[in-house]
Amino acid sequence: MGITEDLADALAKDVIAAEEKLGDETLVNQISEVIGASSQTTQEAFLTAIRVRRAEARARRMLRQKLENAAKPQNAASPNESEPAPSPEKPAET
C-alpha cells in the first residue's frame, strides 16, 4: 500500500481499539472530520480502512461461531425424532 493507505489503516486500527475501550461510538466520525479538514484523500482511506477492519472482524466472529458449533457433539437424533409420530385422531363414533 502507499503511505496514505498505510497511515490511514494504522490510525483506523488505533481508533477502533480506542472506540471499544472508551465505549464512544462517535469517535470514528470525530476523527474522520478532523482528517477531512486537512485531506479528503486521507479521510476516504481512513473510512475505507474502518469498513474493511469492521467487516473482517464480523467475518472472523461468524467463522469462530461456526467452528465452535461444529465442534459441539451432535446428538444422533433429537428427542422429538426418537418418538413415534402421533397418529391422527379418529372421529368419535356415535
Give domain limits for the chain.
Answer: 3-71
Query: What angle separates helix 27-38 from helix 40-71, to the nearest 10 degrees?
Result: 150
Assign 75 a pLDDT band (cuts: 50, 70, 90).
low
- Model pLDDT, residue 43: 98
Instruction: Compute the distance between CA of residue 48 and CA of residue 67 in angstroms, rounded to an integer.
Output: 28
Check whether 83 has a pLDDT greater than 70: no
pTM of the model: 0.72
Encoded amino acid at 32, one letter: S
Give the pLDDT confidence of 8-66 residue by residue, as tens digits. Answer: 999 999 999 999 999 999 999 999 999 999 999 999 999 999 999 999 999 999 999 99
